[in-house]
Amino acid sequence: MRSAFVKTVFRSIKNSFGRFIAIFAIIALGVGFFAGLKATRPSFLQTAQSFFERYRLNDFRLLSTIGIDDEDIEYLSQIDGVSNVEGEYNKAVLVSRIDRAGEIEYEYPYVVDLHSLTSGVNELSLVAGRLPSAPNEIVLDEYVCSSDWIGDTIEISQDDEDDSSEGMAVTQFTVVGLVRSPEYINFKRGTTDVGGGQISFFAYVPREAFDMDYYTQALIYYGTNFEIYSEEYVDYMSSQQEIVENRLEEAVNTRFNDFILESQEEIDDGWNEYNESVQEALDELYDARATLDDSRLQLLDAQAQIDNATQALSEADDHIAAAYEEVNSNFALLETQEQELVEAGAQLSQAYVDIETNRQEATSNLDSLTQNAQDLNDQIEYLTSLLPEGQTTSVEIETANAQLVVVNDGITQANEAISQIDAAQAALDIQNAEYLEGLEEVRIARVQLEEARTQLDINRTTWQNSMNELQISINDYNEGYQEFVDGEQEYFDGVAEFGSSSAEAKRELVNAQMELDKVEEPSVFVLGRDMNQGYVSFENDSSIVDGVATVFPLFFFMIAALVCSTTMQRMVSDERTQIGIMRALGYSEFAIIMKYVTYSGLAAILGGTLGYLGGIRLFPYVIWEVYGMMYGFSGIVFQSDVWVLIVSMLVALTCSVLVTIFTAKAEMACTPADLIRPKAPLPGKRILLERIAIIWRKMKFFQKVSARNIFRFKKRMFMMIVGIAGCTSLVITGFGISDSIKNIVDTQYDRVLKYDLTITFEDSISKSGVIKSITDLDEEYNVEENHVLARREDVTHTGNDLIRDVELIASSDPNVSSIFGLMVDGNSVEWPSFGTVAISSKLADKNNIKAGDSIVFSYGDNGQTVEVQVAYVFDNYIFHYAIMSEETYADLFDEEYKPNTALISIESDNIIDTEYAKLLSDITDVKSWSATSSMRDTFQATMNQLNLVVILIIGCAAALAFIVLFNLDNINISERIREIATLKVLGFSRNETNSYVFRENSILVLLSFVVGIPLGIALHAFVMAQIDMDTVSFVVQILPISYVYSLVTVIVFTIIVELIMHRKIDKIDMAESLKSIE
Amino acid sequence: MPYIEFQKVSKRYITGDVELLALDEADFFIEKGELAVIVGQSGAGKTTLLNILGGMDRPTDGSVFLDGRDVSKLSNKELALYRRNEIGFVFQFYNLIPNLTAYENVEMAAELVRDPMDCDKLMADVGLEGRKQNFPSQLSGGEQQRTAIARAIAKRPKLLLCDEPTGALDYQTGKSVLKLFQSLSVDKGITVVIITHNSAITAMADRVITLKSGSVSSNIINPNPVSVDLIEW
Ligand SMILES: Nc1ncnc2c1ncn2[C@@H]1O[C@H](COP(=O)(O)OP(=O)(O)OP(=O)(O)O)[C@@H](O)[C@H]1O
Ligand SMILES: [Mg+2]
């Protein structure tokens, strides 16, 4: 009996394997989906937990403003419960990669977060190669670097602005391996103020590679068994945080006080040294001055002497010159005298000549006269002689006598003249004597003058010598003077130098003192895992699937119940005769039902088991792979709760066994006699539509048939509609999710936050300083940008459920709306008026705050609060913002408004945002900056991950559609084999037969759309509410085109199944099927 | 050439290791307009023969001619057209479409051909004027069979094939159905082939073909077919 029972069950399974598989498959799918989604989060958490435990992710990261030393570490490790405390050096550096051939890949393009290796906390998971064993070996970030880096050299930049190599003992490393670090479980590597700001990858080197006085940070690992993210863990760690903080404070304060004392001493020493050196310098300067003054006096003396000498010499020069003049004039005089004498001499000589001449003339005259007188007398005689003769006349004697008288006169006169000449000669001789005397005198005077001149020449030479001497002493003086001037210059320089250097030294000391005075008590920071970006986002990201884990499987279970019911009904009616005979033979109803229960139960248990085992692996695995882009830190560790198994199995059995019992009972609710008789095919019935004659008459014949068929099998119609509507709604949800998340990042960063950079300046920088730096930079690099100055504060709002970080932006810059798009329902609005604030939509929604309500923000370390009225709620998609005017800010915070931030939108494309920020931080004191683009990328990446969830949903919808359609079509066809064979015999062509069968399907699919679309809208809304992220507000929307896509997708699913079913119809053998009934 | 001719038609079924020859070189012919009756023991291959003739099945060997056309050489598509235009089938178990009324069942067949018979008249001819709007489940066996016959002849087939049309019917009903066939053959000139176990029926046939384990053992012309009314069994 038992074995017979088992046999019948197995024969049934064999005979109707397709049906068995249908139940099996739908249960497997439902359970798989349910268990899989439910197991995803636990698996993820377990994966992370195992990873963190294995590699000992720090529970706390400790920082102090004055570093941490080994003593601090020692002190900290005494805390109860602490497993490991390790000091770590950490520094962001610029590096370049040099390959084995020595080729530099790029010159310092990588910003690397360089850590020292630690043991017992934040250990590394080796992916390739080995860990460093020497100070010059390095292991790199597996997420970014590939194994062909191994063997390459990593060189830290030298002498760059960021002082990359400062604090490093080694600057060239050989890559020996690739690692993952528990510190970095997601893809984000963080930001830094080095290089471009974005960290490229992390790297670890041995501690010895660093050369720093203090550890950058300390890492504490407790090694608790608490589940990550669990309340127990959070509670425990928040209690520990205080303890650790106190410890660290103590340790650091002790060291700080020592440091202050030491520093003060150093400064004081500095002052002493300063004073001494100042005194010394002053003394030296005084000496120098004195020497200078002496030489100045000497120079003055010399100057006087020289002046005197010059004076004397000049006078002497005058004397000599005058003497020369006198001598010269005497000479001239003498010359004149001599000239006169010479002239006189010449006259005298002339006069002597003339006298001689005159004498000769007078003598010769006398002689001639005497001659004449003689002659005359001779004549007279002669004549007188003659007279007798009478040749001559007495007249001629008279005339000769007269002439003789005259000649006698003339002789008298000539004698007179000779006597006169003799007198003149005598006068001349006197004169000549005088002349000779004069000549003698001149000769003597000349000698005298010559003498004087010689004397003068001697004087001149003597003067010249003195003059030369003077010149030498003048030169000497000049030299001395120059020396003095130089000395004085030197002295002045010395004074100046002393002034500046002493001022410098003084300033340094003053500054040092000021710095020291300013040095605040050291601050310590104890950062829990909640400050680890990867750790935190992992919690959020891993729970995204959890929300939908309940609703989706519901569909599947409902379908499973329907599939099971129709299948079992079909089965029972197939085996009706057999049942009748068994009943007639005396088998109890229970025994018979047991067979079907066993049948469906077996299908359910097998399906459930496979679904469970497959689901809890497949879903977490697939989603993990999807997450792999963000979190590829380790292979997935599968984890599922027992209750998920229990619930899955219970539901599976309910869907199968319970449904089977009901179905079988209903089918067998008649006498065995009835059962033995073949059950007439479900009778045809008139349908409601036929009563509407107008429509009915207009319908084509085959349309009427299909219409009737649809209502003939109500349960199947229902199942079809539920299945396909479910599938439709899933696909709509899928596309809708995509619609809802697709644009928010773009909308947020194109329409709301239109700026590229948020640059926060040090408080010391004034508003005009900020503007100047920006305009300077713009000019220098030819950048066009649009900037707005604002006051940015990080405040918090405590809501019912959560404390939310809110970015408060206060500005009244007229330009502000071009940088920050305030919109309500898509319409631009004015900046909020005085005394009010505008808040972002998510913040408002989450806390039920509406325009007109008031909102409280906390700020500062002591949790001061301000309350302000909400003007309106503006459209915003990522993060929370509160917007107000400058006046409101000043009024609210009771302080003068001063902008601390520039929101910059770069308009020209000759510079990238990070570069701009970097350049700006080079020329002014930038406290921090962030590029919108990096946030944008991060969010876009997350949104893209959600797209893969969309694909998963659509995949599941396809699976659902396929199972439902296959099962239904299968049952439909097998139940209507005779009908179909008859049609074929009647001569229906292949297409006609197919469309006769599937027209109903098409109509049902259309009907399913009517149900599925609203269902899809509702499901979409539900899913969106489930995957709600606190900082992101989705635009819950389904675009019209998505409906088209969805319907087309479902229609394609239907067509695929139909195409497969066509073959089944083709296979129907007319001869065979019509042979007989059963 | 006769209207219908089977030339050495064999049909071999292979089930597992067992090979079965349902038709073994069956050779016979039927002339146009005849009412032929095929008799033979159970398992002799009657249904097989009829299915092959009706284009629902193909012979393993041999040729089947209808009106000079080799049916055994037709493609699936052509076979469908062949069934549609030339053959009317009446089954032992009626095989009406349960979801259609009697009239609609006939109408459905009529819609398949270009020149169908008038459905209303046809319903009257088979005596079902009053039951047109009833679904098969609301009809008696005879009424269903008559509906099936009306459905078969609505297409104006060249050949009416009936596999034990009276098997599920009582005496009177059976008789009235047979009468219908006779009148179709006589009045309308349709060639009718009827399979029966009831040898009494052979009296009304123009031709009686006897099958014996797949082969035609005799093909006899009845010189004096009698009216159905005169037949008793
Ligand atoms: N599809 C099939 N597979 C195997 N054998 C078959 C098949 N169809 C018919 N047969 C066999 O072929 C032989 C002829 O069958 P067929 O149905 O033609 O007989 P029949 O003369 O119509 O008998 P009955 O009077 O009982 O209806 C039988 O032995 C039957 O078992
Ligand atoms: Mg038969």
Domain boundaries, chain B: 4-230
How far is A627 from chain B, CA to nearest CA, in Å? 54
Calculate the CA A738 to chain-centre distance. 32
Which tokens go with A431? 């004169």
**Based on the number of CB atoms within 10 Å of its own CB, is A778 exposed (0-12), middle (13-18) or buried (19 or more)?**
middle
Average pLDDT over residues B103-131: 87
Residue A414 · residue A366 · CB < 8 Å = yes
Question: Which of B19, B212, B112 is CA-nearest to residue A987?
Answer: B112
User: What mean pLDDT is reported for chain B?
Assistant: 88
Residue A905 · residue A754 · CB < 8 Å: yes
**CA–CA gap between residue A755 and residue A929 (Å, rounded):** 12
Of residues A198 and A740, which shows the higher confidence score?
Answer: A740
Say which of A684, A986, A1075 has its CB closest to residue B83.
Answer: A986
CB B148, CB B173: distance < 8 Å: no
Identify which of B42, B47, B60 to mutate to test ligand 1's pocket (most ligand atoms within 8 A of the CB): B47
Ligand 1 binding residues, C-beta < 6 A: A 1072; B 13, 15, 20, 22, 40, 42-48
- Which amino acid appears at position B156 of this protein? R
Three-state DSSP class for residue A546? helix
Which atom of ligand 1 approaches the CA of B46 most closely?
21
- pLDDT tops 70 at residue A630: no
Q: Which residues of A fall within a CB distance of 8 Å from B101?
A: 684
Overall average pLDDT of the A907-932 stretch: 80
pLDDT tens digit string along A145-173? 888 899 999 999 887 777 888 889 999 99
Residue in B95, B135, B158 to test binding to A, most A beta-carbons within 10 Å: B95
- Please determine, for residue A135, whether its predicted confidence score (pLDDT) is greater than 90: yes
Which of A1059 and A567 is assigned the larger pLDDT? A1059
Which residue's CA is the closest to the ligand 1 atom numbered 11? B22
Q: Is the dihedral of CA A776, A782, A788, A794 positive or negative?
A: negative
Stretch A267-277: mean pLDDT: 88
Residues 6+ apart with CB under 8 A from A1004: A710, A717, A720, A721, A724
Cα gap A307→A301, rounded to integer Å: 10
Instruction: Return the pLDDT at B161.
Output: 92
How many whole angstroms from its chain centre is CA A454?
A: 99
What is the pLDDT at residue A674? Answer: 64
- Determine the Cα–Cα distance for residues A716 and A563; give it in Å rounded to an integer: 9
Q: Is A899 helix (H, G, I), strand (E, B) or coil?
A: coil
Q: Kindly state the average pLDDT of the residues A244-256.
A: 89
Distance A980 CA to ligand 1 centre (A): 22
Residue identifier of the C-alpha nearest atom 18 of ligand 1: B45
Chain A nearest-CA residue for B113: A987
CB of A465 closer than 8 Å to CB of A266: no
User: Residue with the nearest Cα to atom 16 of ligand 1?
Assistant: B45
Report CB contact under 8 Å: B99, A684: yes
Rounded to 5 degrees, φ, ψ at B10 are -120, 145
Q: Which of B77, B102, B194 is nearest to A992 (CA)?
A: B77
How far is CA A462 from its chain centroid?
Answer: 89
Q: Which residues are bridge partners to A713 per DSSP?
A: none
A138 burial (CB, 10 Å; 0-12 / 13-18 / 19+) is: buried
Are A680 and B137 an interchain contact pair (Cβ–Cβ within 8 Å)?
yes
Work out how many CB contacts closer than 8 A connect A with B.
Answer: 91
- What is the distance in A from the centroid of ligand 1 to the CA of B23? 9
Residue-wise pLDDT for A430-475, tens only, equals 888 888 888 888 888 889 888 988 988 898 898 899 889 889 988 9
Could B155 and A705 be called an inter-chain contact, meaning their C-beta atoms sit closer than 8 Å?
Answer: no
- The CA distance from A311 to A317, in Å, is 10
In terms of Cα–Cα distance, which of A538, A539, A558 is closest to A33? Answer: A558
Position A108 confidence tier, pLDDT thresholds 50, 70, 90: low
pLDDT in tens, A967-1011: 888 888 887 888 888 888 888 888 888 888 888 888 888 889 999
A981 contacts in B (CB within 8 Å)? 95
Per-residue pLDDT, averaged over B109-131, amounts to 86
Cβ–Cβ of A1076/B93 closer than 8 Å? Answer: yes
* Residues of chain A contacting residue B100, judged by C-beta atoms under 8 Å apart: 684, 705, 708
Cβ proximity of A726 and A1015 under 8 Å = yes
pLDDT at A1078 over 50: no
Q: What is the pLDDT of residue B15?
A: 83
- Rounded to a whole number, what is the distance in Å from the CA of A18 to chain B's nearest CA? 23
What does the buried/exposed string (b/e) look like for A631-654 if buried means 16 or more CB atoms within 10 Å of the residue's CB?
bbbbebbbbbeeebbebbbebbbe
Q: In 10 A of CB B39, how many CB atoms?
A: 22
Looking at residue B94, its pLDDT comes to: 81
Atom of ligand 1 minimally distant from the CA of B214: 14
Q: Does A304-518 carry CATH code 1.20.1270?
A: yes
Average pLDDT, chain A: 84
> What is the rounded CA–CA span in Å between residue B63 and residue B72?
6
Asked if A6 and A620 count as a contact pair (C-beta separation under 8 A), the reply is no
> Which chain A residue is nearest to residue B97, measuring alpha carbons?
A979
Check residue A657 and give its pLDDT: 86
The string over A477-515, giving b where at least 16 C-beta atoms fall within 10 Å of a residue's C-beta and e elsewhere, is beebeeebeebbeebeeeeeebeeebeebeeebeebbee
Cα nearest neighbour of B93 on chain A: A1076
Q: Does the beta-carbon distance from B81 to A683 stay under 8 Å?
A: no
| Closest by CA position to A636, among listed A645, A627, A644 | A627
pLDDT in the model for residue A204: 95
In angstroms, the Cα distances linking A871 to A530, A812, A853, A868, B39 are 34, 16, 8, 9, 99
Instruction: Give contacts of A 633-652 with B, CB under 8 A.
Output: none
- Any idea where the domains of chain A sit in the sequence? 1-52+543-680, 94-204, 304-518, 687-712, 716-745+931-1078, 746-930
pLDDT at A678: 53
User: Taking CA A566 as the corner, what is the angle to CA A563 and CA A572, rounded to the nearest 5 degrees?
Assistant: 130
Q: What is the largest CA-CA distance in chain A?
A: 261
Going from the C-alpha of A776 to that of each of A758, A872, A919, A921, A923, the distances in angstroms are 18, 38, 11, 13, 9
CA–CA separation, A685 vs A692, rounded Å?
15
Q: Evaluate whether A247 touches A153 at the Cβ level (below 8 Å).
A: no
Contact A1030, A846 (CB under 8 A): yes
CB A1014 within 8 A of CB A538: no
Cβ atoms of A1021 and A1036 closer than 8 Å: yes
Question: CA of A978, closest CA in chain B: separation in Å?
Answer: 7
Ligand 1 binding pocket mutation candidate from B9, B11, B13, B162 (most atoms within 8 A of CB): B13
DSSP assigned state of A65: T
Domain B4-230 CATH (choose: 1.10.287.3240, 3.20.20.70, 3.40.50.720, 3.40.50.300): 3.40.50.300
Q: Show the tokens assigned to A659.
A: 């449904």
- For chain B, the DSSP string reads --SEEEEEEEEEEEETTEEEEEEEEEEEEE-TT-EEEEEE-TTSSHHHHHHHHTTSS--SEEEEEETTEEGGG--HHHHHHHHHHHEEEE-TT----TTS-HHHHHHHHHTTSSSPPPHHHHHHHTT-GGGTT--GGGS-HHHHHHHHHHHHHTT--SEEEEESTTTTS-HHHHHHHHHHHHHHHHHH--EEEEE-S-GGGGGG-SEEEEEETTEEEEEEE-SS---GGG---
Token pair of A1055 as six digits: 């067509």
Distance from CA of B230 to the nearest CA of A (A): 31
Asked if the Cβ–Cβ distance from A1076 to B99 is below 8 Å, we say no
Predicted TM-score (pTM) of the model is: 0.65
Rounded Cα distance between A888 and A810, Å, is 8
What does the angle CA B20 – CA B25 – CA B28 come to, to the nearest 5 degrees? 130
Q: How far is the CA of A786 from the centre of ligand 2 (A)?
A: 94
**Average pLDDT of the residues in A369-392:** 75
* Helix axes B171-188 and B141-153, enclosed angle (nearest 10): 20
Instruction: Report the atom number in ligand 1 closest to the C-alpha of B197.
Output: 25
Task: Report CB contact under 8 Å: A684, B137.
Answer: yes
**Is ipTM > 0.90 here?**
yes
* pLDDT above 80: residue A927: no
| Residue B103 neighbours by CB under 8 Å, 6+ apart | B119, B123, B132, B133
From chain B, the residues in CB contact with A985 under 8 A are: 54, 56, 83, 89, 95
Residue B91 has its nearest CB partner, among A701, A988, A1074, at: A1074
Residue of chain A whose Cα is closest to the Cα of B157? A986
- Is the per-residue pLDDT at A23 higher than 50? yes
Q: Do B99 and A709 touch (CB under 8 A)?
A: yes
Asked if the model's pLDDT at residue A210 lies above 90, the reply is yes
Is A680–B92 a contact, with Cβ atoms under 8 angstroms apart?
no
Residue A858, SS3 per DSSP: strand
Structure token pair of residue A831? 């900046």
Closest C-alpha to B179, from B225, B144, B136, B117: B225
pLDDT digits (tens, 9 = 90+) for A633-674: 778 888 888 888 898 888 888 888 888 888 788 777 766 666
